[in-house]
């Protein structure tokens, strides 16, 4: 006896669904690393398609089938193929895929040179609308900021805090994750490390004191660097300082469209 397919039944409400799918999948991921060619990590994955008003539901198992069809490890270069396969298998016009993962860099302490591993939150939001491929890269970087006002008015020291810079970009060419991190870390009062000896802590503390930065300074410093990148066509930079003497955080944001020129063809 054939089994009932409820998803393919007609729906009388006449409402198109923009995104329907699965979220919270975890999968091994390989990302291109500027120094080692490939870096292995683990991504949390979401996969979605649009659903025409005529159908009651989508076939959730097919999303997982698409994800597993590319082997035990997903490569970023496979994203356009995965999106096209989602369109085919789920009979959709548009397909969307999100991947969020930790990205690791080995950093040396500024004086002793001791090595430690830093992790950064990175995210890809890829979509295929018809035949048009789009990908949004998000990189989140933590750093130290020291308050210029506090330094100017205080007899002793100045308050500082952990700042979080979130950069989203679209580009016409490859923009390395490491380069986005470097832009952010160079824009605060001091970058952060996982391992610091006393000599390093002294150097980092004094560097921050000599380079006070408001949250407004932070987003402007990063934006200037993004403006100068030849391949970036759009960006949004947000900064949030987790204040150490206030019961609130400080926030700033800049969003800008740059001259994109002709849109490159979709990969593949």
Q: What pairs with residue 136 in β-bridges? A: 125
What residue segments make up the domains of the chain, in order of their start? Answer: 17-257
Higher pLDDT, 210 or 8: 210
The 10s digit of each residue's pLDDT in 64-117 is 999 888 777 777 788 999 999 999 998 899 999 999 999 999 999 999 999 999
The 10s digit of each residue's pLDDT in 202-215 is 999 999 999 999 99
Task: Output the CA–CA distances (angstroms, integers) from residue 136 to 74, 80, 172, in the order listed.
Answer: 17, 13, 11
The 10s digit of each residue's pLDDT in 132-141 is 999 999 999 9
pLDDT of the residue at 266: 45
Tell me: pLDDT of 260 over 70: no
The 10s digit of each residue's pLDDT in 214-240 is 999 999 999 999 999 999 999 999 999
pLDDT of the residue at 109: 97
Tell me: pLDDT of 186 over 80: yes
Tell me: pLDDT of 200 over 80: yes
pLDDT of the residue at 268: 42
With pLDDT > 90 as the criterion, what percentage of the chain qualifies? 69
pLDDT of the residue at 208: 95
Tell me: pLDDT of 37 over 80: no
Task: Output the CA–CA distances (angstroms, integers) from residue 50 to 17, 68, 147, in the order listed.
Answer: 6, 21, 47
Mean of pLDDT values over 235-256: 94
Tell me: pLDDT of 56 over 90: no
pLDDT of the residue at 6: 65
Which among 168, 159, 151, 179 is positioned nearest to 241, based on CA atoms? 159
pTM: 0.89
Domain 17-257 falls under CATH 3.30.60.50: no
């Amino acid at each position: 006896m054939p089994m009932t397919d409820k998803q393919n039944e007609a729906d009388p409400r006449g409402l198109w669904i923009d995104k329907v799918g699965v979220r919270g999948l975890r999968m091994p991921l390989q990302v291109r690393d500027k120094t080692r060619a490939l870096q292995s990590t683990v991504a949390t994955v979401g996969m979605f398609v649009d659903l025409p008003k005529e159908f009651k539901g989508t076939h959730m198992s097919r999303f997982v089938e698409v994800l597993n069809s590319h082997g035990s490890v997903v490569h970023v270069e496979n994203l356009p193929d995965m999106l096209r396969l989602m369109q085919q298998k789920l009979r959709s016009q548009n397909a969307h895929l999100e991947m969020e993962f930790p990205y690791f860099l080995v950093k040396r302490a500024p004086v002793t040179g001791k090595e430690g591993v830093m992790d950064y939150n990175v995210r890809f939001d890829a979509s295929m609308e018809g035949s048009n491929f789009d990908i949004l890269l998000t990189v989140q970087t933590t750093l130290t900021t020291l308050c210029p006002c506090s330094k100017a008015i205080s007899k002793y020291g100045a308050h500082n805090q952990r700042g979080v810079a979130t950069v989203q970009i679209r580009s016409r060419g490859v923009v390395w994750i490491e380069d986005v991190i470097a832009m952010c870390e160079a824009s605060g009062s001091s970058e952060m490390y996982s391992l610091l000896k006393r000599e390093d802590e002294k150097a980092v503390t004094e560097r921050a004191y000599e380079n006070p930065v408001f949250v407004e300074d932070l987003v402007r410093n990063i934006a200037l660097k993004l403006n100068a990148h030849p391949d970036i066509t759009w960006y949004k930079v947000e900064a949030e300082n987790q204040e150490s003497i206030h019961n609130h955080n400080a926030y700033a944001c800049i969003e800008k469209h740059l001259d994109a020129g002709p849109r490159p063809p979709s990969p593949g």
